[in-house]
Structures are given as structure tokens and as C-alpha cells.
Amino acid sequence: MIAWRFYVNNLQRLVSYRAEFWIGFLGTLVSQIGVAYFLWKAIYQARGVESLRGYTFGGIMLYYLLVPLVERVGHAQEMTGFSGEIYDGGLSRYLLYPVSYFRIKYAGNLAQATVYLVQLVLILVAYGFAFGMPSGFSPLSILQGLAALGASLTLCFFLSAALEMVAFWADNVWSLWILVRMTISLLGGGMIPLAFFPGWARAALAWLPFGSLIDFPIRCLLGKMGCGEWMMGLAVAFAWAGAFGAATAVLWRRGLKSYAGVGI
């Protein structure tokens, strides 16, 4: 299948970015976790308690360890190349291929996600050896987590696709994308676990797509999810994925009409 070829190609390309592969990853990991470590150590010390909102200090550190890993699996490659392809006419190439453009892109996305999933597993295993697995962790939680990651992946793909469609009409999409990423980071639990938000905020966020991308998969993996809550979370995630998918389809059709294929 052609899409498989793209998958392998992408995998190859990714592995060749040697320094970026390791340094970039480690840099983000160390800084995100480093800052969180000191921040929460100060907070737990100031409060003098063992556990806050259901997280022990160790538990919250594991949460922060998982944030970049889960984020990467979910966000993977997205569609960020798309606006560039509109701008320089590279899209034309894909329109000629006998495969759906989105299938190609999704294949690439999966390739990237696979690499990151491997990273996630390796690091979790290392953590397990060093500190022992947390109590909530179990085969069930792994399963829930994988399902949640799949939902997150799909949701993120269609979210980014819908956003990238704007490239048909506007000059510059990346700033829009950064804005969205920042919002996801705060409202999705990337900066602070959603458990710490005030009650009214948590209730609202349960219906929004942001939490599905970070907080939801992590809580699944840590075994903090009851089955009912888990199914609800999946439903919300797939519903939003469907909504963005539909928006993408509409924008794609309208955008292609105005696509001029200009560029070098």
C-alpha cells in the first residue's frame, strides 16, 4: 500500500535527524520536569502535606514526566507542512498522487507517533525500574491509556487539519497554531494537572477537547480513570475529532476551488 511506503519513508527521515532526535527531546524533558520539580517541591513544602488533590509529590512528578511524552504521541507530525505546501505549490504534487492526501498525511502522522510511542514505553519502563510502578498502573490502565492516546492522536490530527485549512486564505498559519498549542497546554493540563483547577473550570473543561489531549490520556495510564469516566472521555474526544473532521472536509473542498497552484 502506498501509504505504508510513506510511513517507512517518514520513519527513515525522522531517524536521520540525529542531534535533534535526542537533544531536542532531552532538553524539553529536562526543562519541563525540572521546573515542575522545583515548583511543586516548594508548594508541597510550604503546605506541609503529603498529597494535594489526589496527587502525592511523586505522583505529580510522574504526571509531568508523562506530559511531554503523551503530548508528542498525540501531536506527532500534525499537518504543519500543509500551509507551506499551499504557499509554495507543493500541494500540487500530492493532488496528482493516486492516494487521498489525508491518508498520506495521516500515515506520516502515525509514523511519527510510533516513534514517540516507543519513547514513551522505554521511559516508562526505565521509570518502573528506578522508582517502581505507581499503584494505579495495571494492564487495564495501559489499555485505557492506549485507547485514549489513539483518540488524542486522531483529535489532534483533525484539529490541526482544520486549522491548516486556513492557509488557503491567509498568509500565515503558524501563529494561529502556536496560539492553539498554548491554549491546549494550559487548558489541557500540560502546565498544571486539571485536578488543581477550580471546580467550575473543571466542569467546563470536561466538555472541551483540550483535556482529551493531555490530562485524559495521562490519568488513564495512571489508573485514575473509572470505566464510565473513560468512556465519556473517549466519546468527547471522538466527537470533537468528528467535528473538526467535518470542518476540514468543508474547508478543503472550498479551498481547493481557490487553490491556484502558484509557487516555484
- Interface with other proteins, residue 42, by CB under 8 A: yes
Beta bridge partners of 51: 56
Smallest distance from other proteins to CB 87, Å: 13
Beta bridge partners of 55: 52
The number of beta carbons lying within 10 Å of the beta carbon of residue 61 is 18
Please state, in angstroms and rounded to a whole number, the distance separating the CA atoms of residues 34 and 37: 5
Q: Which of 2, 5, 35, 253 binds other proteins (CB under 8 A)?
A: 35
Q: Where does the chain have alpha helices with state H?
A: 2-16, 18-19, 25-47, 57-75, 81-88, 91-96, 101-131, 139-165, 174-187, 199-205, 210-213, 215-221, 227-258
Q: Which of 11, 123, 239, 249 binds other proteins (CB under 8 A)?
A: 11
Q: Coil, strand, or helix at residue 137? A: coil
Question: Which residue type sits at 42?
Answer: A
- Interface with other proteins, residue 118, by CB under 8 A: no
- Interface with other proteins, residue 17, by CB under 8 A: yes
Question: Which residue type sits at 171?
Answer: D
Q: Which of 2, 4, 5, 38 binds other proteins (CB under 8 A)?
A: 38
Smallest distance from other proteins to CB 140, Å: 30
Residue count of the chain = 264
- Interface with other proteins, residue 56, by CB under 8 A: no
Please state, in angstroms and rounded to a whole number, the distance separating the CA atoms of residues 154 and 160: 10
Print the binding letters for residues 151-190 with other proteins: x by CB under 8 A, - otherwise.
Answer: -------------------xxx--xx-xx--xx-xx----
- Interface with other proteins, residue 16, by CB under 8 A: yes
Beta bridge partners of 56: 51
* Total of chain residues touching other proteins, rule CB under 8 A: 43
Q: Which of 2, 4, 5, 23 binds other proteins (CB under 8 A)?
A: 23
Q: Which of 96, 98, 139, 198 binds other proteins (CB under 8 A)?
A: 198
Q: Site residues (CB under 8 A) for other proteins?
A: 8, 11-12, 15-21, 23-24, 27-28, 30-32, 34-35, 38-39, 41-43, 46-47, 52, 170-172, 175-176, 178-179, 182-183, 185-186, 191-192, 196-198
